[in-house]
């Protein structure tokens, strides 16, 4: 194991894929650090994203998500550490990296004085696609991203969802192999979010690699093959959504009783970890297995406790966040 690890560090990242059955890495970062004055934004970030997967950086505002994307997309340099995109060094071979990526930043990077079509044509010309190919691809993307309406209008007349769709379409004009999406659904209504998720899934189905940052736990849960939870410039946990959920004991059964006078009795009998006398609810730790539910219901019968309703709560990424960073995601968001 040690020997293998040693070998891997000696082989350039692009060649690793040919060594084993594992897919080659589209994005690799080792020990990325960045600080502005005394403020450390990134404190040693390691990433390894295989080709054709969605990797999500999850974290609250100020965790370092955008800084990571900016370094990986060659916008800024790292103070320390190395990063490779499609095998190219972001510091030494920035132009090769730029040729391989598409970036959709947090704030829609569209030209507000050009129409949708003109924006796409501008990208085509900058990618040196040639007139015919530029027109063909632009027409194709307009169709694919439901922008027919927007094609002849300037972005100031668009909805938030349309702007984002144009933004992503522009990133795709150059046929990138690696796509960075920095909070692609922030500020979108639920329907536009779903549309965006569908778009992202289709992109990956087409073979590209996506690095997605989000502060929405359900978004990472829905889309990402692997998730890194970022907090204070460090990765505090990494794994699939299921692996992360298994890290923490967040499962419980929530019971709402009929009678207030039974709350204490029920709490004692079932070993509840939280009660809310006003709402007549108690929370009992446990998983969603049939066996544990049966023993719970048996206990309720035995004690003759009247239950109005019962909900099984499986741990979600909110619980992960709470457990890993020691504070709920939402409260932190609101305090920043």
Partner 1 sequence: MSTMTYALTDSATMLRRQLKHMARYPSLTFMLIAMPVVFLLLFVYVFGGTLGDGLGGPSGGREAYIGYVVPGILMMTIAGAVQGTSISVAMDMTEGIVDRFRTMAIARVSVLTGHVLGSMIQILLGLVVVLGIALAIGYRPNAGPADWLALLGVFALIAFALTWLTVAAGISAKSAETASNTPMPLMFMPFIGSGFVPTDSMPGAMQWFADYQPFTPWIEATRGLLDDTGTDGTDLALTVAWAAAIALLGYLIARAKFNKR
**Interaction between residue 91 and partner 1 (CB under 8 A):** no
DSSP 57-101: EE--TTSSHHHHHHHHTTSS--SEEEEEETTEETTT-HHHHHHHE
> Which is nearer to partner 1, 184 or 250 (by Cβ)?
184
How far are the Cα atoms of 23, 247, 268 from residue 329, in angstroms, in the given order? 33, 17, 31
**Interaction between residue 151 and partner 1 (CB under 8 A):** no
Residue window 157-176: x/- pattern of binding to partner 1, with contact defined by CB under 8 A:
-------------xx--x--
**Segment contacting partner 1 by CB under 8 A, of 105-113, 238-246, 307-315, 325-333:** 105-113
Q: How far apart are CA 311 and CA 288, in angstroms?
A: 10
User: Tokens 């619980």 correspond to what residue?
Assistant: 319
> Which is nearer to partner 1, 188 or 300 (by Cβ)?
188
Both tokens assigned to 127? 């990618």
Nearest to 317 by CA among 261, 230, 257, 248: 248
The CB-of-231 to partner 1 minimum distance in angstroms stands at: 25
Chain residues 107-136 in contact with partner 1, contact rule CB under 8 A:
107-114, 118, 122-123, 125-128
Angular region, 187: left φ>0, alpha ψ -120 to 50, beta rest: left
Chain residues 64-83 in contact with partner 1, contact rule CB under 8 A:
73-75
The CB-of-154 to partner 1 minimum distance in angstroms stands at: 7
β pairing state of 80-85 and 25-36: antiparallel
**Residue among 17, 52, 99, 232 that touches partner 1 (CB under 8 A):** 99
| Burial class for 198, CB neighbours closer than 10 Å (0-12, 13-18, 19+) | exposed
**Interaction between residue 210 and partner 1 (CB under 8 A):** no
> Which is nearer to partner 1, 82 or 96 (by Cβ)?
96
**Residue among 57, 58, 78, 103 that touches partner 1 (CB under 8 A):** 103
């Amino acid at each position: 194991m040690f020997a293998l690890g040693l070998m891997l560090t000696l082989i350039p990242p692009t060649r690793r894929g040919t060594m084993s059955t594992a897919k080659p890495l589209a994005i690799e970062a080792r020990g990325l650090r960045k600080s502005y004055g005394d403020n450390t934004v990134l404190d040693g970030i390691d990433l390894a994203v295989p080709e054709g997967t969605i990797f999500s950086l999850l974290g609250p505002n100020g965790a370092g998500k955008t800084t990571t994307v900016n370094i990986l997309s060659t916008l800024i340099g790292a103070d320390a550490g190395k990063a490779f995109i499609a095998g190219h060094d972001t510091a030494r071979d920035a132009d090769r990296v730029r040729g391989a990526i598409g970036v959709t930043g947090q704030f829609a990077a569209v030209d507000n004085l050009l129409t949708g079509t003109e924006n796409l044509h501008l990208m085509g010309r900058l990618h040196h696609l040639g007139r015919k190919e530029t027109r063909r691809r632009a027409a194709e993307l307009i169709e694919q991203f439901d922008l027919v309406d927007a094609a002849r209008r300037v972005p100031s007349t668009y909805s938030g969802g349309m702007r984002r769709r144009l933004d992503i379409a522009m990133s795709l004009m150059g046929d990138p192999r690696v796509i960075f999406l920095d909070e692609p659904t922030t500020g979108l209504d639920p329907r536009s979010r779903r549309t965006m998720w569908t778009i992202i899934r289709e992109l990956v189905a087409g073979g590209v690699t996506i690095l997605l940052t989000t502060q929405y736990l359900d978004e990472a849960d829905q889309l990402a093959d692997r998730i890194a939870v970022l907090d204070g410039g460090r990765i505090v946990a990494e794994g699939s959504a299921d692996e992360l959920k298994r890290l923490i004991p967040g499962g419980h059964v929530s019971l709402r009783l009929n009678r207030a006078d039974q709350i204490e009795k029920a709490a004692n009998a079932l070993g509840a970890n939280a009660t809310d006398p006003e709402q007549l609810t108690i929370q009992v730790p446990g998983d969603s297995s049939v066996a544990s539910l049966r023993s719970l219901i048996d206990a309720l019968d035995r004690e003759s406790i009247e239950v109005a309703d019962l909900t099984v709560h499986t741990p979600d990424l909110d619980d992960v966040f709470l457990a890993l960073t020691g504070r709920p995601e939402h409260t932190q968001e609101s305090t920043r």
